[in-house]
Structure 1
Amino acid sequence: MTTRAPAPVLPERYLLSPDMIADPYDHLDALREQAPVHWSPLHHAWLVTGYEQVMSCLRDPAVSADRVRPLMDAVPQGAREDAERAFGILSRWMVFNDPPRHRRLRRVFQEAFAARAVARYRAFTEKATRAVLARKAVPGSTGDLMAGVAKPLPALVFARWLGIPPTDGPSFWYWNTRVADLVLGTAQEESEYRASLQALVSLEDYLGALVARRRAEPGDDLISQVLREGRVGDSVSEEEFVGMLTQMAFAGGETTSNLIANTVLALLTRPDRLAAVRAEPELAQGAVEETLRLDGPSKMSIRTAARDLDLDGRTLRAGDRIFLVTAAANRDPARFPDPGRFDVRRSGATHLGFGFGAHFCIGAALARLVAVAAVRTLVCDHPGLTLADPGGLAWQPSLLNRSLTALPVHY
C-alpha cells in the first residue's frame, strides 16, 4: 500500500476550478510552504511544489515521463476506435519517452535546435514581427493581441522553420490546434476527442508526405537539414522522425504564443518595468525570462513513478502520478530572492520555465528568439500600448498551460 503524506492544514483546492485557473499562485505558495511533496486525493497525484524537490524528480530515472496511457484512458469509450494510431504517434514524441530512447530521439534534432542554428532565423523573425505588427497593431487601434500578434507570429516563424508552404498553413495550424486540445486536456466531449485524434493522424500524414518531398527537393528548413545529416533511417526510423515532427509542430507555436502574451501582460501591469524596457530595449530578454519564471506558459509537467522512491521523507509507489508544479517551484524563496517581484534585471538561480536536464525544452532557443523580438518591438515601437480591459481577462481551463483566452489592448 502506498504511504501517503499527512494532509496539510491547507484545504484541498481543485486546480481546474475557475478561481485557481484565474490565479493559482497564492494557493501553490502556501502548499509549497506547508508540504512541498503532498499527496492530493482530489487529483489522485503527488503535488511537488518545492524547487529542490522538483529538481530531484527531474534528475531521478525512477520518475518517468511516459504518460501516453493516462492520456488514452481519458478518451471517452465511444472514441476509442479512433485512438490506436493517434496514440502510437504520441508514443514517438520525445516528451513522452525516457532514456535511453529519449536521448536517441533527441540527438537527431540536437544540431538543428542549437542556438547557432536558430540564430539563422533572426532576420526572418524580425521581418515577420514587423509585418505582423504593421497589419495587426496599427497605432491608435484596439485589438486582441493574443489573436492578432501572439498566435500568428510564432506560426509564421515555425512554419518557415519547418518548411511548411504558405498555402498549407491554414490546414497545418488547424490540426495543431486540435492536437493541443488532446494533449493539454481541453477536449471534453466525444466529438472533440474524435476531432483531435483525427487531426493528429492528418498531421502525421501531411508531415510524412512533406518529408518525402524534402528528400526529393531539399530546402533551407529543419526537415531538410536533419535529412542531410543522415540520421533518419540510421539512428531513428522514418516513422519515428515523422512522429517527432508532429511534436515539434504542436509544441513550438503554443508555448511561444503564450510566452509573448504573458510577457506583454506582465509589463503592462507594471509601469515601472515597462518604462525600463522602453529605456533599455535589451531588457526585453530579461522580461521574457522573468515571465518564464513568474507566470510562464507552463504550470506543471506530469510524471509517473516507474518504481518506488523516497522524496523529501515521503514514499512514492510505482505507478503513482506526480505533478511537477514548476509554477510553484519557480517562486520558491529558498531559491529566488524576493520571488514575487518581476525583476527584468534578475540574475543567478536557474528557473524551470523550460524544464531541466534531459527534458529541457529542445526548442527553447527558437521560442526565446521569437518572444524577445515580439516583446521588444511591441513595447518599444508602440508607446501608446495599454490594456483595453484590465478587469476582463480570462485564462484557458488547462491543468498544464497558462494561456489567456484573449488580450485586448489599445495600440
Structure 2
Amino acid sequence: MGGVHLGLANEFEPTLRRLLDHDGPYRDPESGAWFVARYDQVRAALADRRLLTRSSAHATAHLDADQRAAVEPLEAHLRRWFVFSDEPAQHRLRLAFRRALAGSGRDRELADGLAAAARRATATRAAGGDLFATFVVPFTGAAVTAMLGTPDGDAARLTGWGERLLAYLGMDGFDPAVVDAAVGGLTALRDYYVEDYLHRGRGVVAETFRVAAADGAAREDLVAAFTQLLTGALEPSRTALAEGIARVGDPAVAEAYRARRTAFVSEVLRLATPFHFAPRRTAGPVEVGGRCIPAGTRVRLVLPAANRDPAVFPRPGLLDVTRPERRHLAFGWGRHVCVGTRVAEGIVAAGLDAVTASWPAGLTVRLGRTRTAGMTVATALTACPPPSAPPERDRR
C-alpha cells in the first residue's frame, strides 16, 4: 500500500537484480520514492541520522477520508514502534529491552528455553502433514511467548492477534477485511497487556515492562513495545526457520549446519530477509551513492537486495557457511537494529537442532512462500516423497 510498484511481489529475484544493477539509488517515477539497494549504501543509510524513520507502516495520502480513518488507529500505534520512531522515549525503551534480551547470562538461559520448546514441539508433532503448520508455527509461537514471559496457554491467541498486525504490515492495497482484523487484533493485544501481562508476565522482559511502567513510560509506548516484540520476533523466525528446514534435508547441507551452526543460521537469515524495506525520509538533502536525495523525500532501503549484493556476497543465492557471520542486514543496522535479533537467531538454531536430531536423514521438503511488496512469508513445508526405486530390470 502506498505506491510501491517495483514488482517485488511477483518478480522478486529479477527486481532485486535490476535494483542492484544501479550504482546508486533508484528513483521510482510512479511513487516518487528512492530505493537504495547496494549493501554498503543501505548499511550506511541505516546508521545515518539524517535519514529519519518514516513514522508509519504505509503511506496513506492516496486513501480516501473513510479509508484513512479506518487505518489511523493502526498507524497511530505503529508510529510508536521502535522501527518507525526516532522519538527519545522509544529510544530509551529500545535500549532497555535490548539490554533485557542480551544481558549477562541471557544467551544461555534463552538457548535452554528454546531447546526445551523445540523438543516439546517435536514430541507433539503429528506424523505427516505440513511441517510448517505442525512444527514451525507452534514452536515459534511457543518460543516467542516464552521470551515475553507469558503463561504457556496464551501462546495461540497472542500469535493469532499478532498475525493480524503482520497481515496489515504486508498489505499492498487497501483491504477493509485485513484492516478490520488488524484493528481487532490490536485491541485484543492492548487489553491483554493492560489486564494480564503486567500482572502475570514472568522473567526479565516482563520485569523490564513493569520497571518502565513504574518509571512513568507512557502506556501506549509500552503497548507498542509489547506488540513489536511479539510480531518482530514471530515472522522473521518462522520464515527463516522454514528456509533452513527446506535446505537441511540435503545431507551435505545438514553437515554444514552441524559444522558451523552460527554461520549457517546467519546465512539462512540473509537469504530469508522476511521484511523487504526499512522506510526512511530525509530530514535534509542527503547524498547516497553519488546521488543527492532532496529533503522530505521517501526513501526505501531494500534489505533483501543488500543481502544479495554480489560485491559483498559472491554467488549470493548460495548458502555459504564460510561467509562472515551476522554481516547480513535482515534485522537492520545501527540504532534501529531489531531488539529481538538474538531471539530470532536462537529460535532458528533451536528449530534446526530439533530437525537435524530427530527427523529422518534425507528428509526433503518443498518450501511454499507468499510475497507482497513489503514482506516474504513462508506458508508451507510439504514433505517430498523419496524417489521410487526403478524396476528390477532397469537396475541391471
Pairwise TM-score range, normalised by the shorter structure = 0.7 to 0.9
Residue number among 170, 180, 184 corresponding to 2:166 in the alignment: 180
CA distance in 1, matches of 2:377, 2:130: 14
- Is the 1:86–1:198 Cα contact (8 Å) retained in structure 2? no
CA distance in 2, matches of 1:382, 1:41: 50
CA distance in 1, matches of 2:180, 2:173: 9
Matched, 1:213 2:192: no
CA distance in 2, matches of 1:97, 1:211: 24
Alpha carbons of structure 1 residues 353 and 85: separation in structure 2 relative to 1, 3 Å? closer
Q: How many residues end up aligned between the 2 structures?
A: 381
Residue 395 of structure 1: aligned partner: 369
Cα offset, 1:363, TM superposition = 0.5
Matched, 1:105 2:93: yes
Residue number among 292, 296, 304 corresponding to 1:327 in the alignment: 304
CA distance in 2, matches of 1:206, 1:180: 18
Q: Which runs of 5+ in 2 are unaligned?
A: 386-396
Cα offset, 1:344, TM superposition = 1.9
Cα offset, 1:347, TM superposition = 2.4
**1:156-187: CA deviation from partner (whole Å, max 9, x where unpaired):** 02212223223433332221111111122257
- Is the 2:53–2:85 Cα contact (8 Å) retained in structure 1? yes
Alpha carbons of structure 1 residues 47 and 68: separation in structure 2 relative to 1, 3 Å? same
Residue 121 of structure 1: aligned partner: 110
Matched, 1:203 2:189: yes
CA distance in 1, matches of 2:179, 2:321: 40
**1:64-116: CA deviation from partner (whole Å, max 9, x where unpaired):** 11331745557664454444443332222111111544422212213211153
Matched, 1:266 2:254: no
CA distance in 2, matches of 1:31, 1:213: 49
Cα offset, 1:225, TM superposition = 4.2
Residue 49 of structure 1: aligned partner: 37
Cα offset, 1:360, TM superposition = 1.2
Cα offset, 1:121, TM superposition = 2.8
Residue 136 of structure 1: aligned partner: 125
CA distance in 2, matches of 1:56, 1:271: 38
The ranges of structure 1 where at least 4 consecutive aligned residues each deviate by more than 6 angstroms after the TM superposition are none
* Percent of paired sites with the same residue: 27
Residue 6 of structure 1: aligned partner: none
Cα offset, 1:317, TM superposition = 1.9
Residue 253 of structure 1: aligned partner: 234
Alpha carbons of structure 1 residues 353 and 304: separation in structure 2 relative to 1, 3 Å? same
Task: Please show how residues 151-300 of structure 1 align to structure 2 within 5 Å.
Answer: 151-185=137-171, 188-214=174-200, 219-220=202-203, 222-227=205-210, 230-234=211-215, 236-268=217-249, 271-277=251-257, 281-300=258-277
Matched, 1:336 2:322: no
CA distance in 1, matches of 2:70, 2:376: 29
- Is the 2:364–2:383 Cα contact (8 Å) retained in structure 1? yes
Paired letter, 1:197? V
Cα offset, 1:57, TM superposition = 1.0
Q: Which runs of 5+ in 1 are unaligned?
A: 1-11
Aligned to 1:324, the other structure's residue is in SS state: strand
- Is the 2:56–2:84 Cα contact (8 Å) retained in structure 1? yes
- Is the 2:263–2:323 Cα contact (8 Å) retained in structure 1? yes
**1:198-250: CA deviation from partner (whole Å, max 9, x where unpaired):** 21122112112224424xxx7335212442xx333436333322221111122
Aligned to 1:89, the other structure's residue is in SS state: helix
TM-score (norm 1): 0.83
